[in-house]
Amino acid sequence: MEVAVVGGGFSGLIFTLKLIEAGANVTLYEEHNRVGYPPHCTGLVSSRVVSLIGGPAFKSIISRYDSIIFAGKNSSIRAKIKGGIYKLDRVKLEEYMLEEALSRGVKIKLNTRVSRVSLKGLIEANNSIARYDAVILAEGYRGLLRKSLNIGFNGTPIYGVNIEYEGFTSDDKTVKVIFDDKLSGDFFSWILGFNETILIGSGSEDPAYLRMGLARLEKMLGLSKKIRAYGGPVILGPASLRLSSGKIHVVGDAGGLNKPLTGGGLYPNSLAGELILKLYRETGDLNKAIETALRIVASKLRKQYRIARLILRNPRLQETLISVGSELKIDEKIGELDFDNHEEIITKIVMNPSLIRAGVNVLFRDPIAVIKMLSRLLIS
């Protein structure tokens, strides 16, 4: 099987590696002359994702964290994370993935912009046309090819920015996530430390609000020695309902294959790549395997989307959840959280008597939000 992958970002590279493992001949097209640049991503992933990516991820680990502190305006909860959270060097990760693809015989066409694709698997680049049995469009949020075929993500992203400063955090084994509408109105902010560096980040639909929130956070933490700032569009879904058409399949940010609560793209795409491998081995039909794998992952993400929207768009609910959780010392009862499967948190609450009590408390303080949450859960 001859497969073309358009785009050498994380998604293009992970699908390239998984398809090669499945036995396909892969040609990767990337319009720039290198991968990994410009950096934009925080690079936080679960241990599951490190394993799904394999060698290149293990080689690019910068730091490991045991838990997340969810902080509201007046209280906070600490949650242990199953297997820990890893911070990866995202530029090195993509460079190592490219190296591995090269060593496994992938044809890499850098500096090559694909100008047209057709549902029959035709690709036009540098005024020549090639035919493939399957095409993966991993062109990122800004890519235009998917729009020409009317498939893939068609929502609006928010903007996310990371800023690194010289300094130490008091507890470098923890990622702090802050829900405070003065810092980020429609998303959240984060703080973490690694290698004598403090990283702060935030997201918002409104770039002016984002700048203001980050300046406030910088002042609150007394940070002054800025090293660098980077960021880009953060996709919060919903994952597209149309990811495959004919021989074309849209993945990554181009398809909205991102965790809806955080915008994380590495987990859903690593998972989809692994599923393709499994399904192709079972059925021998590559296009069907890709289509099915993408459908399974997208539907899992769409379930998370309903709850994620409700939480992100409702600062009062965020504050209530955190303060009730803190009063009832929920961190001791909740056990370890799964960094990728956010819907699991709800299941835990339903199964645990003290968490039910917390739910009742939240219901008293914010009944409308809870009714909305339950109706969304029942619909999904």
Could you list the residues that contact ligand FAD (CB under 6 A)? 6-12, 29-32, 40-45, 113-114, 138-140, 143, 145, 160, 162, 231-234, 252-254, 258, 263-267
Which candidate, 253, 260, 273, places its Cα nearest to that of 341? 260
Q: Which two tokens stand for residue 285?
A: 């039909």
Compute the half-sphere exposure of residue 337: CA atoms within 13 Å on the CB side of its CA: 24
Q: Which is nearer to ligand FAD, 13 or 277 (CB)?
A: 13
**In sequence order, what are the beta bridge partners of 3?**
26, 134
The answer to whether residues 158 and 234 touch, using CB atoms and an 8 Å cutoff, is yes
Smallest distance, ligand FAD to C-beta of residue 265, A: 2
Which candidate, 169, 219, 218, 217, places its Cα nearest to that of 195? 169
Q: Which is nearer to ligand FAD, 41 or 71 (CB)?
A: 41
Smallest distance, ligand FAD to C-beta of residue 96, A: 15
Q: Which is nearer to ligand FAD, 162 or 204 (CB)?
A: 162
Helix (H, G, I), strand (E, B) or coil at 16: helix
- Amino acid sitting at position 131: R
Q: Which residues contact 366 (CB under 8 A, 6 or more apart)?
A: 316, 317, 320
Smallest distance, ligand FAD to C-beta of residue 269, A: 7
Smallest distance, ligand FAD to C-beta of residue 94, A: 8
Smallest distance, ligand FAD to C-beta of residue 73, A: 23
Smallest distance, ligand FAD to C-beta of residue 133, A: 19
The residue whose two tokens read 């499945």 is 22
Q: Reduce the secondary structure of 207-222 to three states and give it as a string.
A: HHHHHHHHHHHHHHHC
Q: Which is nearer to ligand FAD, 32 or 357 (CB)?
A: 32
Q: Which is nearer to ligand FAD, 4 or 77 (CB)?
A: 4
**In sequence order, what are the beta bridge partners of 230?**
162
Q: Which is nearer to ligand FAD, 232 or 238 (CB)?
A: 232
Smallest distance, ligand FAD to C-beta of residue 112, A: 6
Smallest distance, ligand FAD to C-beta of residue 378, A: 29
Helices then strands, counting H and E runs in the chain, come out as 12, 17
Q: Which residues contact 341 (CB under 8 A, 6 or more apart)?
A: none
Helix (H, G, I), strand (E, B) or coil at 148: helix
Q: Which is nearer to ligand FAD, 234 or 321 (CB)?
A: 234
CA separation, residue 195 to residues 61, 66, 323 (Å): 12, 16, 32
Q: Which is nearer to ligand FAD, 16 or 292 (CB)?
A: 16
